[in-house]
């Protein structure tokens, strides 16, 4: 099981248009609303810089600095995502290159499918404890659920600082 590579795939169906979904995914003024305050910023062309700036007080989470690999407006965005910036050194050593995120947008009648693929991950990126938003497997469903709410009813989800399953 040495150097086991993982990917996380998550599909969502949203009552919206490809244009609105693209805007919500790529515009930082939208992302701060549904992505727990994180600001997505990308120069939307191949080779352009990509950062996901954390909100104040969460700078230790890093900005995932990467680069745009594919940019087909309203259809597909692929970018690299630096997962190592918040790693322990022994985990960083195991990484082979940056991880990679793909958004695929497919119109389906009155709704749109968003397919998210996050690849070149390590087992350390997956969090077994569901009572937290840590881990790719807990974080993405929260972010995408919130994005869907924002697009469908105008209000993103408010996660506070608690995690899935955390007893109040």
Partner 1 sequence: MKQPKQVYTLFIRSTPKKTWDAITKPEFTRQYWGNLANVSDWKKGSKWEHMTKENEAWIVGKVTESAPPNRLVLTWADPDKLKDESRVTFEIEPVEDMVCLTVTHDNFKTGSDMAEKVGAGWPKVLSSLKTFLETGKGLNIFCKAS
The torsion of the CA quartet 137, 10, 23, 148, rounded to 10 degrees, works out to: -80
Q: Which is nearer to partner 1, 29 or 152 (CB)?
A: 152
Of the candidate residues 6, 61, 126, 142, the single one contacting partner 1 (CB under 8 A):
142
* Contacting residues for 116 by C-beta, under 8 A, at least 6 apart: 8, 9, 10, 11, 12, 101, 102, 103, 104, 140, 144
Least separation in angstroms between CB 33 and partner 1: 14
Least separation in angstroms between CB 135 and partner 1: 11
Task: Find the binding residues for partner 1 in span 100-119 (CB under 8 A).
Answer: 106-111, 113
Strand partners, 93: none
Q: Maximum Cα–Cα distance for the chain, whole Å?
A: 47
Of the candidate residues 5, 44, 123, 162, the single one contacting partner 1 (CB under 8 A):
162
Of the candidate residues 5, 7, 13, 85, the single one contacting partner 1 (CB under 8 A):
13
SS3 assignment, position 143: helix
Edge-to-edge strand ranges of the sheet holding 66-72: 6-14, 111-121, 99-108, 76-81, 66-72, 49-53, 39-42
Query: Going residue by residue from 47 to 66, which x/- string records binding to partner 1, judged by CB under 8 A?
Result: --------------------
The yes or no reply on residue 70 touching partner 1 (CB under 8 A) is: no
In the complex, the residues that contact partner 1 under the rule CB under 8 A are 10-15, 106-111, 113, 130, 137-138, 141-142, 144-146, 148-149, 152-153, 155, 157-160, 162-166, 168
């Amino acid at each position: 099981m040495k150097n086991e590579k993982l990917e996380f795939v998550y599909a969502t169906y949203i009552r919206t248009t490809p244009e609105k979904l693209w805007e919500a995914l790529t515009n930082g003024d939208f992302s701060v609303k549904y992505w727990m305050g994180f600001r997505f910023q990308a120069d939307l062309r191949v080779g352009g810089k990509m950062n996901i700036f954390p909100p104040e007080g969460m700078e230790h989470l890093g900005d995932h600095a990467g680069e745009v690999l594919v940019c087909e407006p309203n259809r597909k965005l692929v970018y690299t995502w630096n997962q190592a910036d918040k790693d322990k050194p022994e985990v960083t050593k195991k990484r082979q290159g940056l991880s990679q995120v793909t958004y695929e947008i497919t119109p389906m009648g009155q709704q749109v499918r968003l397919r998210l693929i996050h690849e070149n991950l390590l087992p350390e990126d997956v969090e077994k404890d569901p009572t937290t938003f840590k881990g790719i497997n807990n974080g993405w469903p929260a972010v995408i659920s919130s994005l869907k709410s924002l697009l469908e009813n105008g209000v993103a989800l408010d996660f506070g600082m608690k995690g899935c399953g955390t007893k109040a």
